Amino acid sequence: MATVGYRRVSTLDQSLDRQDIGEVDKLFEEKVSGATAKDRPALQDLIGWVREGDSVVVWSIDRLARNLQDLLAIVQELNAKGVSIRFVKDNLTFPPEGSDGASKLYLSILGAVAEFERSILKQRQAEGIAKAKAKGVYKGRKATIDRDRIKQLSEEGLSTYKIAEVMGISRMTVHRTLNG
């Protein structure tokens, strides 16, 4: 019986160390903003690695799943393998033998609350961006392509294909830049 940890952050500049899950026998970590479980290779590896009697430890519900459907599916899959799952921050454990209706209801409620919190956060972010745009402060992310360079190369007679190759971008991006 192994204690298996899972830690995830959404961006490369965030620290996994903030998710103190304690001592584990094996640790799976990733720095991805995977919207679904399928988009997270370390989570898929963990699910394939664990065996009956193992225990998975995660910092919080929102680190395991972004939405209620994924949360329920992951917990159900782990429980079906005879694996318990513990959320440290939330002080919750879902053992495989506790997969009754009441446990599922409780998990659904908690997952729905986490999903609701995320939607509120996204809404506040959008409102903040709108206010910043109204003040002329928000400019968005920096352009990843050099439009002037694309136009210059086109004027020099290079084909769309050659410009894309030289700039390391797609032909469609070159086409949109020149015709848009």
Neighbours of 99 (CB within 10 A): 16
159 is catalytic: no
For tokens 């160390």, what's the residue? 17
Which residue out of 10, 33, 60, 154 is catalytically annotated?
A: 10
Region at 136 (left for phi over 0; alpha for psi -120 to 50; beta for the rest): left
Largest CA-CA distance found in the chain, in angstroms, rounded: 71
| CA 52/CA 54 separation, integer angstroms | 6
Structure tokens at 56: 């998975």
Query: Which residues are known to be catalytic?
Result: 10
